[in-house]
Amino acid sequence: MKISIILGTRPEIIKMSSIVRELEERSLDYFVLHTGQHYSYNLDKIFFEELELPLPKYNIDVGSGTHAEETGKMLIGIEKVLQKEDVNIVLVEGDTNTVLAGALASAKLFIKVGHVESGLRSFDRGMPEEINRVITDHISDFLFAPTNVAKENLLNEGIDDNKIIVTGNTIVDAVYQNLEIAKRKVDILNKLKMSPKKYLLATIHRQENVDVKEKLQNILDGFRFVCNEFDLPIIYPIHPRTMKRLKEFKLEIPKGVKLVEPIGFLEFLQLEAQAALVLTDSGGVQEETCILKIPCVTLRDNTERPETLEVGSNMLVGTNPEKIVDGVRMMLNKARNWDNPFGDGTSGKKILKFLEGAKL
Ligand code: UD1
Ligand code: UDP
């Protein structure tokens, strides 16, 4: 059995890391194909270094562009690699353009596709990620659903039960495997001169939030209200998409918000674990806060992670400044006694065990 892992962005590297470790441990034949969707050091290489992952065998260096440019270049580059490698199965993770291109190029070459983190649905086709998820799920052969909620979504779309394997989410593996390492190796609080529970952490990068001037302005106003009311600084490792828009729209960063460059996973985990609360529109961060028992306020109207709402770790507030501050007030007072619905940290093992048994 020869496996190709196709990845291209920060969250895919993090969420594929336990699978790559498992492939190494089992001495299975595999290679990593990187699309180059993310290429800046702190969105890409830093994670290979920190998580001690072998470098990709191929990087097709597509870079940034419109959705069609990114996806089109990826399809062409991925097809070339897969035509010369004798691959039995391709694994993709999540909902990015890389995932769509990886699954589509493989399916057209009649190579089996395994979709890790399958079945998530926001039911909002205004998100590019929702389109990527739906298409990828429907052309995949093995659907590794993190939870029963995700499995139900797939069944409701008529996908065959036999293709669905509930495994938990590999983000739990990544959090459990790296939290202790983070404690030993990094000290970001000291570096930023912050004390535990005396700051908030923010990440905002979704296209539908930051590419619209009024929405981004509202989010910054919300941050200003929050800093004023709670007298806590907001640490904000800013995604390059958001940075580009801030400059283009000439928006001002409120006093109390401390912008920093995107940081490595170890430092980010540490910041999350010690924060009083996290404000985000990231998918992975909604999960990590739930796992780490840190309250989360999500600046979106919907989420493909409803498990976090059900257990009470997360609240949706949209981008209205008053609603943002109301959400923070409510979530700061929240008892942190919820259960983690995303699995026990053995998802990578479960996926590999299944594939070995499947005899491809
Ligand atoms: C992509 C994913 C999103 C995911 C996010 C993870 C899609 C449709 N979107 O969004 O689901 O949550 O990655 O972070 O696939 N840029 C850099 N350096 C880089 C990469 C990007 O500066 O290494 C800048 C460029 O200006 C680029 C912009 O960020 O135009 C957006 O990058 P892109 O990969 O298109 O989308 P993301 O917003 O990163
Ligand atoms: N992350 C990181 N450094 C940062 C911000 C985020 O390592 O400065 C990690 C975070 O811990 C999570 C992942 O990046 O595992 C989330 O990625 P992102 O928010 O870009 O994408 P999404 O999950 O929304 O697709």
Query: What would the DSSP string read from start to end of 28-41?
Result: -EEEEEE--S--SG
In tens, the pLDDT along 183-220 reads: 999 999 999 999 999 999 999 999 999 999 999 999 99
| Catalytic residue list contains 205 | yes
Ligand 2 atom closest to 206 (CA)? 24
Quick one: DSSP state of residue 109?
T
Name the catalytic one among 34, 38, 115, 205: 205
In tens, the pLDDT along 117-171 reads: 999 999 999 999 999 999 999 999 999 999 999 999 999 999 999 999 999 999 9
Ligand 1, CB within 6 Å, residue ranges? 9-11, 37-40, 43-44, 64, 70, 95-97, 128-129, 205, 239-241, 244
How many residues are present in the chain? 360
Residue 318 burial (C-beta neighbours within 10 Å; 0-12, 13-18, 19+): middle
pLDDT value at 359 more than 80: no
Residue bearing the CA closest to ligand 1, atom 20: 38
Q: How confident is the model at residue 57 (pLDDT cuts 50, 70, 90)?
A: very high
Ligand 2 atom closest to 94 (CA)? 25
Residue 349: in which H helix or E strand, if any?
helix 347-358
Ligand 1 atom closest to 43 (CA)? 23
8 A C-beta contact, residue 70 and residue 341: no
CATH number of the domain located at residue range(s) 187-332 in this protein:
3.40.50.2000
| CA 227 – CA 234 distance, rounded (Å) | 7
Question: From ligand 1's centre to the CA of 269, what distance in Å?
Answer: 20
| CA 16 – CA 22 distance, rounded (Å) | 10
| CA 93 – CA 96 distance, rounded (Å) | 8
Domains 2-169+343-357 and 187-332 fall in the same CATH topology: yes
Within 10 Å of residue 124's Cβ, how many Cβ atoms? 14
Q: What is the mean pLDDT of the chain?
A: 97
Which ligand has an atom closest to residue 63 CA?
1
pLDDT of residue 360: 79
Q: Which fold has domain 2-169+343-357?
A: Rossmann fold (3.40.50)
Helix, strand or coil for residue 179? Answer: helix
Residue 148 burial (C-beta neighbours within 10 Å; 0-12, 13-18, 19+): middle
Domain residue limits, the chain: 2-169+343-357, 187-332
Which ligand has an atom closest to residue 16 CA?
2
| CA 338 – CA 142 distance, rounded (Å) | 30
Which ligand has an atom closest to residue 237 CA?
2
pLDDT value at 236 more than 80: yes
- In this prediction the pTM is 0.98
In 283-346, alpha helices (H): 283-292, 306-311, 321-332
